[in-house]
Every structure is written in C-alpha cells, then in structure tokens.
Amino acid sequence: MITYFYWFCVVLLMAAVLYGLGVKADKWRPGLALAFVLFLAGWSAYYFYFQQIFVKRYGGVMTISVPEGSFHLMATWKDDNLWVENYDPKTNTCVFNEYSKGSLLQGKVTIKNCNPLLQRPFAATESIRP
C-alpha cells in the first residue's frame, strides 16, 4: 500500500508541475522537462533507495525470482538488504545472494558441497521413542 501511495505522490507532483507551468504559465516545454526530471528522480529514488525499505518496514511489494534449476531454501534481512539462499543441485552448492538497493552492491556467498535436500537420518529420533 505504501508503494502505491509513493507513486501517487510522484504522479501528483508531476501533474502539479504540468498544470502550473503548462496550463497556467503556458510554458509547456519547461513543464514537460521538469515533469520528466521529477519522474526520473522518483523512479531512481524508489529503485535505488525506497523499495526494500518499503517492503521491510511498511509492507510494500517486491518480487524476486529463483534462478532456473535451483531450489529456494530461505530468505532473511540484514539491515535493509534481503539475503536469499538457493541450492543448485547441478554444482551441489548453496548460494546466498544479497539484493541490495538498486542491485549496485550485491554480495554473494557460495557454500560448496552443500546438499540440504539430502535426507539424513536424525540419530536422536531412535533414542526418543517411548
């Protein structure tokens, strides 16, 4: 919901600039240029800064995809960045990927010989039987 409110405010600001400069002052070129600059600034701010903050703190909307051939294991937040763990059965590795603001500084941790999908018998279950 906060995401929609943010975009509503950006569009409202662009409409106010177009109305003020275009309709009232009859200066359409500067009005269109300023509205375009406001759109770019709003999009950049959302993509590079606000998206994950909105999702984590205010219940915003965000979609990521699991790479083809991999299995999703878990996701966790570290500060305002989302860390996602996927398992790649072809290489037998677990990969933690960081989805940072705007995908500029993405961290990656690879754990080799990781096989979380292999069922291993739990030794303590036999000793717990009644």
Entry pTM: 0.64
**For the segment 83-107, what is each residue's pLDDT rounded down to a tens digit?**
999 998 888 899 998 887 666 667 8
DSSP string across the chain: -HHHHHHHHHHHHHHHHIIIIIIIS--HHHHHHHHHHHHHHHHHHIIIIIHHHHHHHH-------PPTT-EEEEEEEETTEEEEEEEETTTTEEEEEEE-GGGSS--EEEEET--TTS----THHHHH--
* Sequence-separated (6 or more) residues with CB below 8 Å from residue 26: none
Domain borders along the chain are 2-58, 64-130
**For the segment 18-58, what is each residue's pLDDT rounded down to a tens digit?**
999 988 999 999 999 999 999 999 999 998 888 888 888 88
